[in-house]
Structure 1
Amino acid sequence: MTRPLFAHAMRRGAALALVAALGACTLGADRPDLDHALVNRPEIQGDFAEAGDAGRFADAPVPEHWWRLYDDPVLDRLIERALAANTDLQVARAHVRQAQAVLDQAEDARLPQTEISGAAAYGRLSAQELMQSEAMDATYFYGVQGGLSYKLDLFGQVERAIQAAEADTAARRAAYDQVKINIIAATTQAYLQGCALARQIAVEEALHDAHGAMTEAMARLEHAGRTDRTAVERAEVAEARAHATLPVLAARRQAALYRLAALLGETPAALPGEAARCTAPPQPTRLVPVGDGRALLARRPDLRQAEARLNAATARIGVAKAALYPDIHLGVSGGSVGLMQDALASETLKFSLGPLIRWEFPNRGLARARIRDAEARADAAYAAFDGAVLIALRDVETALNAYARALDRHRTLRAAQRHAHTLLADQRRLQQAGRTNAVDLLRARQASLRADMDVARSDEAVLAAQVRLFLTLGGGWS
């Protein structure tokens, strides 16, 4: 008996040693190799090319709550409402919960799996099936069984599946953050646009009144024989054109308010009253802070999402490679099956203990094809990550340039506005001194109002460029 027992012990020890040796053979890479990725290039992590003008941009980190630079309590409240009630954010939250549930399922594979079943019936068994010569009587019989199994993750299939699920969850969280900053930017843009258009409507109404006064003045001059009918008609055309602009501005403002209501999770009938009462857009209280490339790469959610997708694709290569090797489970099961009157008697009991090995050895071509598929997906995710970095930098530089040019135009228009206001003041003094007529004063008034309208429109463009810049900088998700 000594030699068989010794041989059995040797075989058992060898098996355990093999299991221990294979336990460290997790296949695939822990993380993708980003040494040559664009995100790690030094020139990408420095200052932005378009941010060199100290008069336009501040060399400071992008604030988390960038909209507070406008120092507008109404805007602050609107953004709080949007973050609490926006339906797109609710969808994104649900996607995060879904990804977390998938991760929980993957992590559950690390634990032993249990199963229990039971049945009872009345009937008759086949005598021939049991190799009996006489028919058997109908009777009650039963069966109960339970089992426990544990997967030996020798080649890291479970571990890589968990890593992939973790990366998928991270990607969903980044997508949620991206939706969040989109909602913040859209809410800010809708509110500021509504305010800017309210200002434009007020200026256009004043300009329409000025054109009406000019029409009346031309009519009086015609009646006095001091001008002809064409001068009156020119004034009437200008008045009609000014009047025709008002419905367009009103429609744009109403569209902005409707857009704002939808962002707040409200119906168009429930327009936010405090936003509708805004008559002039707020302005930032200080220069726009832009940070640098390094901070941008760490802050933008779309880049974190692209990197998480790359991590998930890399982990799935290990999942696919593990399919080349045996799937081994250790299990124990037991139960009782028999006639009801013999329930749980010793002759009804059964049990088993041992490993279960499943290996799709003959079909390795399918497994290798799946590996190639996973590797190709990882290559695509790598390229997409590089592409996302390039797009982020392009968006920021474009937004910086657009904002700078909008500021240049705004400053020029403000200078023209000052000249127009000076001209109007001069015409008033001359008119009071009797050195000019009412028509010249009305023309100066029209020029001043047209300059005001140019500045009001420029205000809208500058504010829109500001919001686009903050959006591309990725602020507001923390």
Structure 2
Amino acid sequence: MKCEGWISAFADRSSRIRFIRPMAALAIVLTEACAVGPDYKAPQTVLPPEWHNKALIDVSLSQSKEASPALWWSSFDDSVLSSIMEKAIKTNKDIMGAEARLREARAKRDFAAGDRLPTVSAAASASRRRGSAETGIGKTTDFYNAGFDARWELDIFGARQRALEAAEASLQAGEEDLRDVMVTLTAEVGINYLEARSLQRRIAIASETLSALNQSYEIARWRKEAGLVTQLDEDQAIASYQQTKAQIPSLEAGLEQNLNRLAVLLGETPGSLHALMAKKMELPSPARGVAVGIPADLLRRRPDIRRAERNLAAATAQVGVATAALYPSFSLTGSLGLEALSTGGLFTANARTWALALSPALTLFDAGKNRANIDAAQARQEQALASYEGALLTALADVEDALSAYVREKRRLEALLAAEAATLSAYKLASDQYSAGLADFLAVLVAQRTLLTMQDQRAVSEVAVLTDLVRLYKALGGGWIRAEDKENS
């Protein structure tokens, strides 16, 4: 509150200026105008000085030149991903909705700004009237007038100032909401793209395994025809082949669904990306680490935290709007124009008219409605503060979870790569021994199935590392800097 002294003395001063000319009183009021309600102060946030998983950062993320999480997909060095991301930001329907909400908030801010200024209107009229002969004035009279009317709701206690503060904060919250939608969108596009590439790779692995199983079947069939083995080996080869073949349709269905989701994220109809994604490509490999920073950086990076803080500022200003209703309101009205009984006299000096009035108003009884409105505004302010604090805690947990998942999945991938190498060696040895008649066919099939499983798990883990990295970027608030923001970033 900016004017406690002025308000406490209001009753005493009103008696002293009772006989002061209206314009002098207006000058005093305007020069001492103030805004009631609490002045907004950003909450003092206490965050941990470092991440709980700091040891993981030192080991896994600081060995290379670190990349800013802003436009994180550029570090993947994948032209298709970059083009898809650029298109999604332009055509995604959620982005369009957020942009429309932002335009609405900007219009409301402009309305609140205009509401503090006078309203001026122009009017003109021409009339002819004949009076009643019974009254003795039974003659015809012409009347002409033209002029300007103005009305100004004086913002003595800051209701409109607080409303403008609330609208400005809401506009800024809308900007952060758009950025938050971008963070979510870019993460979803990245994850779906990477999973699509992974499914393509898994389908290729299954197809390559089918070729190997077909060769094993031909060997088993030849050895059976030569009387070296029984029908069992051939049947086992057929069963293993068909079992592997049965996995491919489910992988293809998953790829189809994934591409359709990606198309929707780009604001396109399902099936529109199949041609673009038809060319098989390996999973991208980011060349740089991540600038994880410290927990305090989230206040700057995460749009959802910034949005919650701006919502708190707007709610605080609304308390002032509600509080101002307890105090008198003042409106200043005036007019300037011309009046005459003929068109010829309308534009003479004697036709000029003017009026000026100051109108105070004060609610004396409202059954406690204004007080209840203040209580409601204060409760909304408390809700906004709780939402802000909750957003902070959620952000911290998001980063800790994403960091842990990313680093530990990388360790899992290292183990799977070692296991795959050993499995491949075992498969080659079993095949050689079977061809030499030193091992039965079941050993070959088991080795083949184990190798397929390990290759598939490795492919799943490879994409999990990348999608966990994308989730880490998202948790850090990456993916929202637009072209117009780059100069200020």
Tell me which interval the TM-score lies in, with the shorter structure as reference length: 0.7 to 0.9
Q: What residue number does 1:111 align with?
A: 117
392 and 162 in structure 1: CA distance in 2 versus 1, 3 angstrom threshold: same
SS at match of 1:34: coil
Following TM superposition, by how much is the alpha carbon of 1:363 offset from its aligned partner in structure 2, in angstroms? Answer: 2.1
Q: What are the within-5 Å matches in structure 2 for residues 283-302 of structure 1?
A: 283-302=285-304
CA distance in 1, matches of 2:350, 2:132: 19
Q: Tell me the TM-score normalized by structure 1.
A: 0.86
Moved more, 221-230 or 89-98: 221-230
Aligned 8 A contact 1:421 1:448 in 2: yes
SS at match of 2:423: helix
Following TM superposition, by how much is the alpha carbon of 1:71 offset from its aligned partner in structure 2, in angstroms? Answer: 1.4
CA distance in 2, matches of 1:127, 1:376: 64
CA distance in 1, matches of 2:22, 2:135: 44
Following TM superposition, by how much is the alpha carbon of 1:28 offset from its aligned partner in structure 2, in angstroms? Answer: 1.4
Following TM superposition, by how much is the alpha carbon of 1:477 offset from its aligned partner in structure 2, in angstroms? Answer: 1.1
1:29 aligns with 2:29: no
Aligned 8 A contact 1:409 1:458 in 2: yes
Q: What are the within-5 Å matches in structure 2 for residues 48-447 of structure 1?
A: 48-53=51-56, 54-58=58-62, 62-120=68-126, 124=129, 127=132, 133-134=135-136, 136=138, 141-271=143-273, 273-336=275-338, 344=346, 350-363=353-366, 365-426=368-429, 434=436, 436=438, 439=441, 444-447=447-450
Q: Tell me the TM-score normalized by structure 2.
A: 0.84
Moved more, 62-71 or 94-103: 62-71
- Identify the match of residue 41 of structure 1 among 29, 39, 46: 46
CA distance in 2, matches of 1:126, 1:218: 122
CA distance in 1, matches of 2:152, 2:221: 98
Following TM superposition, by how much is the alpha carbon of 1:41 offset from its aligned partner in structure 2, in angstroms? Answer: 1.0
Moved more, 216-225 or 240-249: 216-225
Residues 431-468 of structure 1 show CA distances to partners (whole Å, capped at 9, x for unaligned) of 79x57569466654554333222211211222222222
1:471 aligns with 2:459: no
CA distance in 2, matches of 1:389, 1:61: 23
Gaps of 5+ in 1: 1-6
SS at match of 2:277: helix
CA distance in 1, matches of 2:162, 2:388: 21
Letter in 2 for 1:418: A
Letter in 2 for 1:103: R
Aligned 8 A contact 1:51 1:400 in 2: no
Q: What residue number does 2:5 align with?
A: none
Residues 291-316 of structure 1 show CA distances to partners (whole Å, capped at 9, x for unaligned) of 22111222100001111110000000
Letter in 2 for 1:448: L
297 and 121 in structure 1: CA distance in 2 versus 1, 3 angstrom threshold: same
Residues 81-133 of structure 1 show CA distances to partners (whole Å, capped at 9, x for unaligned) of 212222221221121111111111111123222111233456x56759xxx71
CA distance in 2, matches of 1:13, 1:146: 20
Following TM superposition, by how much is the alpha carbon of 1:267 offset from its aligned partner in structure 2, in angstroms? Answer: 2.2
SS at match of 2:125: strand
SS at match of 2:282: coil
SS at match of 1:276: coil
Residues 367-417 of structure 1 show CA distances to partners (whole Å, capped at 9, x for unaligned) of 111111111110111111111111111122122222233223212211101
291 and 33 in structure 1: CA distance in 2 versus 1, 3 angstrom threshold: closer
CA distance in 1, matches of 2:18, 2:427: 109
Identity of aligned residues (%): 33
CA distance in 2, matches of 1:466, 1:148: 61
272 and 223 in structure 1: CA distance in 2 versus 1, 3 angstrom threshold: closer
Letter in 1 for 2:162: R
Letter in 2 for 1:403: Y
Letter in 2 for 1:85: T
CA distance in 2, matches of 1:84, 1:234: 54
CA distance in 1, matches of 2:132, 2:369: 45
Following TM superposition, by how much is the alpha carbon of 1:318 offset from its aligned partner in structure 2, in angstroms? Answer: 0.4
Moved more, 244-253 or 454-463: 454-463
Letter in 2 for 1:55: V
CA distance in 1, matches of 2:345, 2:246: 94
CA distance in 2, matches of 1:42, 1:175: 23
119 and 277 in structure 1: CA distance in 2 versus 1, 3 angstrom threshold: farther
Letter in 2 for 1:205: S
SS at match of 1:189: helix
403 and 378 in structure 1: CA distance in 2 versus 1, 3 angstrom threshold: same
SS at match of 1:270: coil
- Identify the match of residue 19 of structure 1 among 9, 29, 38: 29
CA distance in 2, matches of 1:393, 1:89: 25
Residues 177-231 of structure 1 show CA distances to partners (whole Å, capped at 9, x for unaligned) of 0111122112211211111111100001112233333344444444455444454
Residues 53-91 of structure 1 show CA distances to partners (whole Å, capped at 9, x for unaligned) of 233223857432111221112211221121222222122
411 and 323 in structure 1: CA distance in 2 versus 1, 3 angstrom threshold: same
CA distance in 1, matches of 2:368, 2:253: 63
SS at match of 2:369: helix
CA distance in 2, matches of 1:424, 1:125: 115
SS at match of 1:362: coil
SS at match of 2:334: strand
Gaps of 5+ in 2: 1-16, 482-489
Aligned 8 A contact 1:213 1:442 in 2: no
Aligned 8 A contact 1:32 1:310 in 2: no
CA distance in 2, matches of 1:296, 1:317: 28
